Amino acid sequence: MKNKGIIGSIIAIAVILIGVFAYQMGSRQTTSSATTDSSELQTVGILQFISHPSLDQIKDGVVDGLKDAGYVDGENIKIEYLNGQGDQSKLDTMSQQLISKNSDVLVGVATPAAKALANATSDIPVVMGAISDPVGSGLVKSLEEPGNNVTGLNNLSPVNQQIELAKELLPEAKTVGMIYSSSEENSLAQIARAEKKAADEGYTVNKYAISSSNEIAQITQQAAGENDFLYIPQDNIIANAFDTLVQEADKAKIPVFVSVDNMVKQGGVATVGQNQYQMGVETGKIAAEMLAGADPAKTPVTVIDTGDTIINETKAAELGITIPDNLKNKAELVEGD
């Protein structure tokens, strides 16, 4: 009987040991599998030029566009996001950081960010997030055949429609002041188009270049005193300090026509604007194509050159601007923040 008891105990201990061993092996395999899955995730590096609502919306759209295409952060891709806060030296350093993280695709939100990424690598696909003038800025050889490792989205602001909208809302206006950043290529390109259209419409055009956001208050004061209305292109430096510009224009009771949808709610009178978030979504879908193996050199740049009429009804009333019925019927009417 004693021997049987001893044998039973040995068997019981053996069963327990086998169970513990099997559990440990299973745990190791699970851990190993998780590690392998994590290391196999493709990486998307997103570099944003500066923080302001328009670029933030584009970045958010990129993430959702990737998700729409089946690429979800933390599940089958890893998203690395950096923001240069308007500092070119930071953009250059951050580009190298994103490359060092073994990014499979890089996304540049705004021209300076896209250029920093393109200058940092000729191998990794770079996707432009809503760039106003990709050919003029040297990012691609042509919209149809980019030619190198860069492709993406070109948001060609509907400048002609914006100037025509200003003329319809302000039929008595004779002069327009155009404020822009001298350092932003996208801004320079749009101002050239706007100046030509305004001249064709019979306006006297006065241009005011700023070198930094610190000059916006003073320049706006000057421009507001010399013009019937102001026109602002897609300009990241100005967008970052747009509240200051609006405050100065309001003091002089001068309307500000803008080029970006959300800047109407921030105090602009009106625009024919493009949805920044939706452009980000389209950019994200292009990034997904690159993850799937598409060749950026042969992937045509997507061009968006239309927009929606948006009018700040509150601001128009404050400035004594009458909105014609035909515009009311087709426009999105918003109230200021």
The pTM score is 0.82
C-alpha separations of 217 from 192, 214, 244 in Å? 23, 7, 6
Q: Give residue 216's identity as a one-letter amino acid code.
A: I
pLDDT for position 38:
52
pLDDT for position 36:
35
pLDDT for position 319:
97
pLDDT for position 41:
94
Q: Give residue 124's identity as a one-letter amino acid code.
A: I
**Residues in Cβ contact with 170 at an 8 Å cutoff, skipping those fewer than 6 apart:** 228, 229, 255, 321
**Residues in Cβ contact with 3 at an 8 Å cutoff, skipping those fewer than 6 apart:** none
Q: Where are the alpha helices (DSSP H) in 269-336?
A: 276-291, 313-318, 325-330
Region for residue 320 given its phi and psi (left: phi exceeds 0; alpha: psi -120 to 50; beta: otherwise): left
DSSP state for residue 260 in the 8-state scheme: B
Query: Which strands form 105-109's sheet, in the order they lie side by side?
Result: 77-83, 42-48, 105-109, 126-131, 150-155, 302-304
DSSP string, 170-234: -TT--EEEEEEETT-HHHHHHHHHHHHHHHHTT-EEEEEEESSGGGHHHHHHHHHHH-SEEE--S
Q: Give residue 170's identity as a one-letter amino acid code.
A: L
Q: Do 291 and 305 contact (CB within 8 A), yes or no?
A: no
Residue 149, SS3?
coil
Q: Mean pLDDT for each 10-residue chunk of the chain (337 residues)?
A: 46 44 41 44 97 94 98 97 94 98 97 97 96 94 97 96 98 98 92 97 98 95 98 93 97 97 95 95 98 98 95 97 95 88
Residue 334, SS3?
strand
The C-alpha atoms of residue 281 and residue 274 are separated, in whole angstroms, by 13
pLDDT for position 39:
59
pLDDT for position 130:
83
The C-alpha atoms of residue 295 and residue 115 are separated, in whole angstroms, by 19
The C-alpha atoms of residue 165 and residue 330 are separated, in whole angstroms, by 12
The tokens for 131 are 């760039």
